[in-house]
Each structure stands twice: as C-alpha cells, then as structure tokens.
Amino acid sequence: MKYCPIYKKCGGCAYINEEYEKTLLNKHEYVQKLFGKIKVDEVKGMKDPYHYRHKIYASFYSDKYNQIHAGLYEENSHRLIDSKMCLIQHVKANDILRTMCTLAQSFKIEPYNEDTGRGVLRHAYIRISRSTGRVMLVIVIGSKGLPSSKNYVKKLVEAHPEIETVIINYNHEHTSMILGRKSDVVYGKGYITDQIGNLLFRISPQSFYQVNPEQTEVIYNTALEMAQLKKTDTVLDVCCGIGTIALSAAPLCKEVIGVEINEQAIRDAEKNMKLNGIENVEFYAEDAERFIQRLDTKPDVVFLDPPRSGMSEPFIRTLNRLSLKKIVYVSCNPATQIRDIRLFAKAGYRVHKAVPVDNFPFTKHVETIVSLSRNT
C-alpha cells in the first residue's frame, strides 16, 4: 500500500490510505444498499490500482514564493493544492505537469488568476494512450495568446517526446468548465489514437473517453457478455460517445444504431468506424428522446451509457413504449441508475444481473453494469 500525504486536503481519493481490498468491499456494500433486494455481484477490481488515470486535468497557481504549481482543488474549497505527485494520475502526466511548471517559470508565463481574470496559464488537460503511450496535451489559457508559445511547446516536446499533439485552448470565461469554445492545434494532428480490444479509437479534446482504459475493457466486455447478442439483432446504443460500445458490438450483431447529442463525438465515431473498417453501424448526432420517437426500426437490445445525471424520465417513458426484450445499462452513478431502473420496472423490466466495476480505484465512485429483461 502506498501513502498519500495530502489525501485529507485533496478529498478526491477517500480510500487512498486504506487496503485496496477493503475499498472494494466498501463499494460493494454501497451499491448493494442502493439496489436493496437486487443481488449485486462482487466488484471487479484492478491488479494494480495505482496511476490508472490516463485522463488528467490540472489547474495552475503561484504560491507565496511565486513558484508555479499544477494542482487540484482542495475538498469543499476553491484552494488549489499541488497534485504533481498524485498516486492515481498516470506517472507520465505527473512528469509533464512538473515540466510545464518549470518551463512556465523560466519563460515568465504567469498562472491565470480566476479572481482577478489576469494571467495566462489556466489548466492542462492530458490524455495518454494506453496502447501506444502517446500523449495529447491541451494547454488552456485565460489570455488571447501564450507568450513564447513556439519555444514553450518545443521545449515541452523535447523534454517529453511521447507528446504527439499539443492544442492551445482559449477559456476567458468565469466558469468551472475546463475547456473553452476555441482551440488551435499547434503541434501534431490534434488527436491521439487508443485501442480497446481489437478496435482503434480516435480521441480529440472534446470527446468523451473513459479515464481508466484497463477497466474500460472490463466494462465493455461485461456489457457485451450481458447483452448476449445474436447475429440477427439490431442494437441501439444511446449516449454512444465516440462509438466505443457500438463498434465493439458491431461484429456480434446484424446492425448497430448509435445516437449522441455531442456532434464532435459523432464525427469521431464515424472516423472510428472507417478506421476499423466497420460497415454495419450508423451514427446520429441528435437528442436521444427525439431520435427514438421517430425510430422506425425496433431494436432487439439497447445499451445505455449516460452521464452521471442518468437518463431523463421522458426518455425512459418513450423507451418503455418500445417494449424491448433487453436493456444493458452502464452507469458511473449507481444512485441515478437505480432511480432509472425503478422507472423501467413500472413497464415490466426486471434486473437480470448487476456487476460493479472499479473504474475509479480509491475514490468513492464505481461503475455499474446492469442487464434488464422483459417478457414480451
């Protein structure tokens, strides 16, 4: 077991200084309590639960000695604490953050101050491909430009040749959102590629992609196993993102329809489909509720993978009218998931299996995959 000296201040990892097996038991107890009489399987954990985050956000600040740091917000506050030694962030990301701070100091690039609206360096967003080790770095600034940007980026890439692309993102707004609306690619192609199973996926800054690629494979394999797809099945993937579940399901069924409100994610999904030579998937950038209202093909299996807020009640009512045989619901928030399951139960659906996966070791969060079936 490794020890984190700032876990009480950070608050991100509630269980970082506990035995990992104990945290898995705590998470199982939490999900089982939410699900009540529904039997919940043991949590699928990791062999090595440290440095699993391949997606990292950090904010920049100066201390009282005018030294620049990259960090996270202290729990229940707006104070930043240094996170460059974080035990769950990828080691390579920690190294890049340290270099960014050192170079910013030497180039006299000031951190952005959210209170005054002055300064430059606001956030860093780092995404690391598990399959290639290549890095996408997004530098978020709160000014019109990054001083000495060419030299700054050149030095970063020289120090870390694994950086495949660098994007400068402009965020001048008073907001808690990390990324602003405008970006410029200043090095590389503006995206990286990762692999899940036998499939390649293109990841751009605005696209959703799981933080823990090792457990992502466990999640998707579990979901596909629960779906028990047949070659004659039509599959609907709701909140499909960049097509990870849809494209994973494609070889196992007749056709897949993916719907997602994020237009950039759909553009990436279509590129991922071509990248993998898959032809039996169609993607739509549309609101899911409106989409299924005009859907002229009744799917045999539906995958749901919504954000933490879960699915809306109007959407569930509309989906219930289709009288589907099977739903596989992937959720990063079991509390909203069980809320939605109760709405499905009103239409005759019953939980067949519930499997938690520890996608976020040492934190309070857990991913849960649930299969629901309905006698028709």
Active-site annotation holds for 13:
no
Across the beta sheet with 163-170, what order do the strands follow?
80-82, 68-73, 55-62, 121-128, 135-141, 163-170, 182-187
Report whether 329 contacts 367 (CB < 8 A): no
Instruction: Measure the CA angle with vertex 323, ends 319 and 324; round to 5°.
Output: 85
Q: Whose CA is closest to 328, among 351, 297, 345? A: 351
The most distant pair of C-alpha atoms in the chain lies apart, rounded to whole Å, by 69
Judged on CB neighbours under 10 Å (0-12, 13-18, 19+), 196 is buried
Report whether 137 contacts 107 (CB < 8 A): no
Report whether 349 contacts 323 (CB < 8 A): no
Catalytic residue among 13, 86, 239, 332: 332
- Reading the block at residue 146, the tokens are 């990054």
Residues with catalytic roles = 332
